[in-house]
Structure 1
Amino acid sequence: MCKEPIGSFHLCYYYCKSCDYSLHKFCAELPKTSQNNPLHPDHNLKLLLYLLTFECRVCNLELKDTYFYFCDFCSYMMCIICATTLEQKINHASHPHQLDRMFEPIVSRCGACGNKHDGFFFQCTTCPVFRINLDCALLPAKLLIQVSTNGAFSHSHPLTLAYSFPESEYYAKFRPKCRVCNGGFHFHLWNYKCGKCLYYVHVDCATSKTPASLGKTYKNYKEEEHLNLLNFPFQDEGDNLLKHHMSNQKALIGKCHDGEMFNHFSHKHQLILLDKQTSVGKKPVSLHDPMKRVQLLCDGCVKPIVTVPFYTCCQYADEQCCFVLHEWCAKLPSQIQDYFGHPEHPLVLMPNIPSKFFGVFKCEVCKLASNGFAYGCTICEYYVDINCAFIPEEITHDAHPGHLLLKVKPSEIWKDCKACDNPMYMEWRFHCPSCDIYIHVKCALLLPRVIKHKLDKHPLSLRYEPVENHIEEYFCEICEDEFNPWQWFYHCTTCAQSMHTRCVPFILQYEQATSRFFGEGVYKFLNIKFGGTLEIKDHPHRLSFVQGVESHGKCSNCRLSRFLRPYRQQLTYNQMIFKCMECEFALHYDCASSFVSIE
């Protein structure tokens, strides 16, 4: 009769099963003649069926093929919704009091979704500030969003309507974002959620057919206009930015053959190219394989060497020198002009920075420590690792598909990284102008799509949001700490195992070595190649350059000045240290640099 939906809050209604004919209770019980109607008290109104279009004199809506009340005396026409407004009281699960339908359509903010609506509202007479729009009042208690959002946002489980998001639950679930628009939630507003997964979505986003998404549906660029556009993350640890950059530099790479000798200015011995075989003389050179606890890191980019060709020292067979280089790292240009972060002076390729103790420097772009090759300006003490020297101006990323991410300069404006959720201040980053999303350079470029780890026999995939059918809390299998699944992490679907991105370095260190400190989206020693020894005064044994673990105890230098240093600085755990393998003596990197070294 009134052509409006029958909601669950109507409690009961009339239904003819054989005809599939339904009526609201108040519509079915309408009198044929309405006397002393408060909206038209002067004359009686007759209930009629009108098959043409008419306009209700109360709500001003145009209606067609529906029942209405008509006054013969003054030709007054009123729809049956307006005629029965006083009887349309509902009991809604979202509120403890009965709600009354307001007389006329209004423009007001809805207490359910928080948005402004133009239409009919239900209002609580006990709590006048509580008011919900008719559309929100009719929201289904459960729904699927696979079809209703053009298939761009799908979830395999039914979503349940929740009438609030309690603050305690919100923070316990690590402050989730809407899976459609990536916006935040208000504690008092409704949302749809999945009881089996950490999946939450605004009511508007769940029911809209064309949501204002973050570009997951439509591209904001044309591929033919952006040639050689790199898509991140790279597939695995064997791929990196230098490889892609140098593959286009045919003049620099040239044509080399297996076994050819090569003199590189960074090394005192000749290098030999391994192209088909992986052995020097009779000594095999094992490629990097985390599953077999085999580590082979390039001395240039400090990234794994997982395939030929690569260069190794000709004295590798005698175990006197284990220097290795990717083919592309051996052919890098000697300098870079007009570098985006330091255009004042050219940056010169430096295999070692003499002013830095043990060759360790902090990259000005990714802010990670490194002891690999660098491009630097000694005049300004400006150094970047060779990976950061060739960062493209624009990229795409699977975490934010369909939109270009542009490289932007460091800024004093604080922004949160979409990957690690840590604030960015005066750091290089990638930015999506359409969605105002930011990602650290190191998070965007240094985390591969698939990684292998000794704790899981299957490859681990980089995840950007919680996994479906994962209702338990998320714990890192390495450091055993609970973590926020809205930050990127690695996950094995077969074993249902998850790990921090900072705890799954493909560089093999000690079995116990993990990174349990917050604020690290990327393994902090990702660009450090541990190894080598140091001899210092007043200690009879040589010290090895390693990552500190719990069993190494405290720094022997800090411990002597414990009244001057905070307790945490005494520990060697998760720091670069020099450790004596014959006794308990250990030194922080900074403490070791203060000693007068013999070599």
Structure 2
Amino acid sequence: MVVIQQHEHFLTLIDLNPKYPHDEPVYDDEKDLISHQVFQRSCDRCDQKITFFHRYYYKCNQCDYLLHKSCSELPITLEHASHPTHTLSLFQNESQQKCHVCECNILKKQLCYYCSPCTLNICLNCGKNEAHHNTIYHPSHQHPLIPTNREILAMCDACENEHKGVYYQCITCFLPFIHRDCVFGSKRLLIQDGTFDKFFHTHPLILTFGFPKVDQQAKFYPRCRVCDKSFSYKENLWVYKCGKCRYYAHFGCAYLRSETSKSAARRIISEKYDHGVLHLPLSEQNLEKVIDFLFKERNYERSITHDSHEHPLILVEAQCSDITTMTEEDSLCNACLIQIMENTTFYKCKFNGQGCNFVLHEWCTRLPPELKGHKYHQEHTLLLSPNESNKFLCNWFMCRACSHRCNGFAYSCVECDWKIDVWCAFIPHKIKHKSHPNHLLSRNYEYDRPSEDDYCRMCLSGFSERNELSFSCKASEFHLHAGCALLLPETIRHRYDKHPLSLAYSPIENHEGDYFCEVCEEELNPNAWFYHCHECVQSIHTTCAPILIPQSKPYLYGGLKAPALLQKERGIYKPEYHPHRLSFTLGSGHCTKCGDHFWAQYIFECSECKFVIHARCLT
């Protein structure tokens, strides 16, 4: 036994948390508070750690002697009713013993009261209330907390998980009920697990002792960035959050202790990728790779005839400068409505420039004339149908795969008026999307479609339509509409802006404030996908992008097929009552004919004067 004696020098009481119970966020410039929170030294009486949560400790001014405040309050000698013959002294136990009163084990180096003549031990709990000896002052609660042991699983009020062992509880109001691991969890934490960067965040996360519903509502109900599940509306739920951007994580997920996080990590590690899957979102650089994936063979001929057009078509080499002389409207492929871009091989009409501006990508000339047993419509044969949009104004159809309107080529069922555009007709069964990089997304069939409670991670809307095509992750609750997955490019650019805007899937780092769309000026929900310029710190709704971006190289954007509603009288319409040609586009303003104001509607406009007219007012 090691005899405990009084210290010979004067001791000064130190308070590690003078702001208790009003805990405040910790930032890098608050060096004193940070140093207090990371303070850990051994008590020279009980040999246990002195931490921030004990709040008080004594320090010797003349030597390096430290003492818990609770340890200083233990009497050095004790008169106990169970052993009236001798006075007991405070000792530090050198080997495991049993208490003479309660017969519980007294662990090695644990303080106890000892009678040397009788070799008799009494634990602190019997000699002096041990729970009060281990009282802590936690910033999450206004009253001191004392420990209590639970031998069965109990729910922790901080993390909402079940644990066994020591819990801390308030004896004043009997709330909260917090497990020891949570009580002594780190105030500041870095999530830098290297598992595919899934749990990585640049900034330290700050532990906060509540995330009430009103705060979640103000932030558009964010989800945990580790397990991707929502937070409960419990007022005192502990979460980790970033003080510099909108990054939130469950307490248990931040430590990777919860089963959700562990199993997710195992799934990510074990996932094997097929290098032949279609990678999304599309970019100009990978478009040719995508086409090679969909159409394996190439057979260039200098001149061909195609069933969709009455004139011969001439091959244009990839390095040919013809593309630079074509207008934006004329450079849209008549089949897939994707822009003819530089370094892309295509066919143009022999009479191009003489009133016939028909163009086709080289790969679109190899579209099969029919599809039998197609995965989306297996009961009937689908026939390739060129759209006669050059003969009829605004002649579009609804694609049954992506639920968007289109006026390019289609595969049609003549028996039930079912149509799918040529791009969606070749969607593979599995895709890989940058928004969910650690798992493949599989196309859903009739029997495994998302439920009405599920929602698309891009637009945050549900899956109510029975025939709506979607993709889902089989390892997690991640779903995407087919249109949202396929039709948004990785970057967009405006002709008057030197910076591109990139597609963002979550709140931007170093952006703590609110988000506002530069087009409609409405507040933007950063939990949905949006376009963001990191240089200008500007954001745009995906649905507002077509209004800002002219018909140029970004061929698909804004959740819509941008050229899909483009009236292809080679992109132009010439009414009898206006001297100039009109282009079909998406915009906002006032109709010259009826005077009505419109917002984000498809219109005809004149590039030579300020004439603008609704599509409905044109006829």
TM range (shorter): 0.7 to 0.9
- Displacement of 1:572: 5.0
Deviation at 1:288, TM superposition (A): 8.4
Aligned to 2:463: 424
Task: Give CA-to-partner distance per residue, 1:363-393, whole Å, 9 cap, x none.
Answer: 0010010001111102111001111101111
In the alignment, structure 1 residue 305 sits paired with structure 2 residue 343: no
Match of 1:329 among 349, 364, 380: 364
What is the letter of the counterpart of residue 403 of structure 1? H
Matches within 5 A, 1:137-216: 137-146=183-192, 152-187=198-233, 188=235, 189-208=237-256, 211-212=261-262, 214=264
1:222 corresponds to which residue? 272
Correspondence for 2:497 among 430, 453, 456: 456
CA contact (8 A) 1:370 1:385 kept: yes
In the other structure, the counterpart of 2:510 is 469
**Alpha-carbon distance in 1 for matches of 2:256, 2:103:** 26
| 1:498 pairs with 2:543 | no
Q: CA deviation at 1:129?
A: 4.3
The equivalent position to 2:291 in structure 1, one of 243, 247, 259, is 243
Q: CA deviation at 1:297?
A: 1.6
Once the two structures are TM-superposed, the CA of residue 528 in structure 1 deviates from its matched residue by 3.1
**Structure 1 residue 80: deviation in Å?**
7.0
Output one character per residue of 1:271-302: Cα deviation in whole Å (capped at 9) or x when no partner: 111115535xxxx432789xxx7872211111
Q: 1:23 to 1:116 in 2, by over 3 A?
A: farther
Give the match for residue 135 of structure 2: 89
Contact 1:408 1:428 in 2 (8 A): yes
Change beyond 3 A, Cα 1:334–1:150 = closer
The alignment covers a number of residue pairs equal to 555
Percent of residue pairs bearing the same amino acid type: 36
Q: Take 2:81 and 2:498, find their aligned partners in 1: how far apart are those partners?
A: 77
State the one-letter code of the partner of 2:401: V
Q: Which residue matches 2:300?
A: 255
Superposed CA RMSD: 4.2
Check whether the contact 1:53–1:63 (CA below 8 A) recurs between aligned residues: yes
- What does residue 566 of structure 1 align with? none
- Normalised by the length of structure 2, the TM-score is 0.77
Code of the aligned partner of 1:330: T
- Are residues 44 and 199 of structure 1, via their aligned partners in 2, closer, same or farther at CA, if it must alter by over 3 Å? farther
Shift of 1:123: 1.8
Structure 1 counterpart of 2:280: 232
Q: CA deviation at 1:404?
A: 1.7
What's the counterpart of residue 122 of structure 1? 168
Q: Deviations over 1:488-524 (max 9, x none)?
A: 122222222222223334996489xxx9xxxx96136
Residues 547, 587 of structure 2: 8 Å contact kept: no
Aligned partner (choices 587, 597, 608) of residue 549 of structure 1? 587
> What's 1:9 paired with?
53
Structure 2 residue aligned with 1:522 = 559
Per the TM alignment, residue 156 of structure 1 is displaced from its structure 2 partner at its CA by: 2.4
Q: Which amino acid aligns with 2:600?
A: N
**CA offsets per residue over residues 184-215 of structure 1, 9 Å max, x none?**
12342011111211111111122236833755
Distance 1:238 1:374, change over 3 A: farther
Aligned residues of 2:276 and 2:293 also touching (Cα < 8 A):
no
Residue 268 (structure 1) aligned with residue 310 (structure 2): yes
TM superposition score normalised by structure 1: 0.79
Query: Residue 575 of structure 1 is aligned with which of 595, 601, 604?
Result: 601
- Segments of structure 2 that go 5 or more residues without pairing to the other structure are 1-44
**Deviation sequence 1:432-466 (CA, Å, 0-9, x none):** 12112111112222222233333531232222111
How far 1:232 moved relative to its partner? 1.9
Q: What is the rounded CA distance, in whole Å, between the counterparts of 1:58 and 1:119 in structure 2?
A: 20
- Residue of structure 1 in register with 2:22 after alignment: none
**Does the Cα contact within 8 Å between 2:278 and 2:290 map onto a contact in 1?**
no
Q: Supply the distance in 2 between the matched residues of 1:71 and 1:392 (Cα, whole angstroms).
A: 81
Per-residue CA distance 1:213-261 (angstroms, 9 max, x = gap): 75598244323xx35222222333771786134441x1xx3133xxx22
1:461 is paired with a residue of what secondary structure?
Answer: strand
Q: Call closer, same or farther: CA 1:373–1:37 in 2, change over 3 Å.
A: farther
In the alignment, structure 1 segments of 5+ residues that lack a partner are 560-569
Report how far residue 63 of structure 1 moved.
4.7
Alpha-carbon offset, residue 130 of structure 1: 2.4
Equivalent of residue 400 in structure 1, options 422, 427, 436: 436
SS at match of 1:300: coil
Bigger shift: residues 432-441 or 523-532: 523-532
